[in-house]
Structure 1
Amino acid sequence: MPETTASKAPKRKPASKATAASSSNADEAKTKFAKAIEEAKAGAQALGKEAHDRADSYREQFRGKAEDWQSQAKQYGDQAKVKATELAVEGKAKTTEAISSLSKLVSENASTIDERFGVKYGDYARKAASSMQSAADKLDAKDIDQLGEDAREFVRKSPGLAIGMAAVAGFVVARLFRGSKD
């Protein structure tokens, strides 16, 4: 048995050399790992900087597009306002003309009403024609802004009546469109 112990002792010496080699390999692995970590950190920082730069670039592009869209929307709004004003002026002129024409028609037929129904009813027709002509003249004298303000004031004073008139107008328009489909 003594030979066995003697044979084991020389093997231990190389084991301590293996431990030293293993220790230097571990140090080398730690160094390589540390370098890899540093490279990863540097890469992450570079990616972060690139992402930040791209985000800034996209942000600037978006701001530019947003400003373009905003200016286009403003242009469209201005165009719509001009067109709406033109249509309102045209509608006002047509309404004034229609009321005036109806006034003339009633006035011209007042003598016929005198003959058929009596002077009293003819006078009612003349008064109605005069009132219609007066309303047409007042409507023609006002500009669109004044009419809008008058409408707002009317709604403030009589909201129930305004809602009722809007409902009746909506009903009439619906009947007109329904009648045109049949």
Structure 2
Amino acid sequence: MTATATPASSGTAEAKTRFNAALEEAKAGAAALKAEAANRATAYRSQAKGKSSDLVGEAKEYGADAKVKASEFAADAKVKANDLAYEGKAKASEAISSLSKIVSENAGTIDEKLGAKYGDYARSASRTLQETAEKLDAKSVDELGEDAREAVRKSPAAAVGIAALVGFMFARLFRGKRG
């Protein structure tokens, strides 16, 4: 028997040829898609890097602006605190001076009612209060702060006691005004 091509075998060969051609075309298409995907990925990557650089630049600008605004705010707060400290120092000095005047003005009455010895105590207290007011006026806020720190270092127990006493006095003062 000789091998002759039958219609069934020629159809199979043709199908195989077409299948192989389609397979080669699919491989070529996949390679083309792979190349296109790589190109697009490179393009997207460069766009992302550009946007990232832009965002980093913007973030740095915002950070620099925030630093400037924070330093301006801190400077303003420092000026306001300094102004309040000077105002408080002036009011404290004025209050001590006023108290000195009141004690001095009432020294005569104390002489009459309690005796000259107690009137002299009042005059001495008045002079001490006036000297304290003058010392307070003469010192800067920074010097007063350093003096206070030094006093706390030398006698912390006294500082705590004085702070407690002042706190108690303020509490009584404000509690009395509310009710």
Regarding TM over 0.5, the answer is: yes
TM-superposition CA deviations, 1:78-129 (whole Å, max 9, x none):
1111121112111111111110111111112112111111122112111211
Equivalent residues in 2 for 1:1-182 (5 A)? Answer: 9-182=6-179
Which has the larger displacement, 167-176 or 80-89? 167-176
Rounded Cα–Cα distance in structure 1 between residues aligned with 2:138 and 2:52: 59
TM-superposition CA deviations, 1:19-40 (whole Å, max 9, x none):
1221121111011112112211
Alignment CA distance shift 1:175-1:13 (3 Å) = farther
Letter in 1 for 2:139: K
Which has the larger displacement, 10-19 or 140-149? 10-19
Rounded Cα–Cα distance in structure 2 between residues aligned with 1:69 and 1:160: 43
Unaligned runs of 5+ in 1: none
Letter in 2 for 1:147: L
How far did residue 77 of structure 1 move?
A: 1.2
Letter in 2 for 1:94: K
Alignment CA distance shift 1:86-1:15 (3 Å) = same
User: TM-score normalised to the size of structure 2?
Assistant: 0.88
> What is the count of residue pairs matched by the alignment?
178
DSSP 3-state at the match of 1:120: helix
DSSP 3-state at the match of 2:152: helix
How far did residue 173 of structure 1 move?
A: 3.4
Rounded Cα–Cα distance in structure 1 between residues aligned with 2:144 and 2:86: 11
User: TM-score normalised to the size of structure 1?
Assistant: 0.86
How far did residue 52 of structure 1 move?
A: 1.5
Alpha-carbon RMSD:
2.2
Letter in 2 for 1:139: L
How far did residue 156 of structure 1 move?
A: 2.4
How far did residue 141 of structure 1 move?
A: 0.6
Letter in 1 for 2:34: I
Alignment CA distance shift 1:132-1:19 (3 Å) = same
Alignment CA distance shift 1:67-1:116 (3 Å) = same
Rounded Cα–Cα distance in structure 1 between residues aligned with 2:158 and 2:131: 23
How far did residue 171 of structure 1 move?
A: 3.7
Identity %: 47
TM-superposition CA deviations, 1:47-100 (whole Å, max 9, x none):
121111111111111111111111111111111111211121111111111101
Unaligned runs of 5+ in 2: none
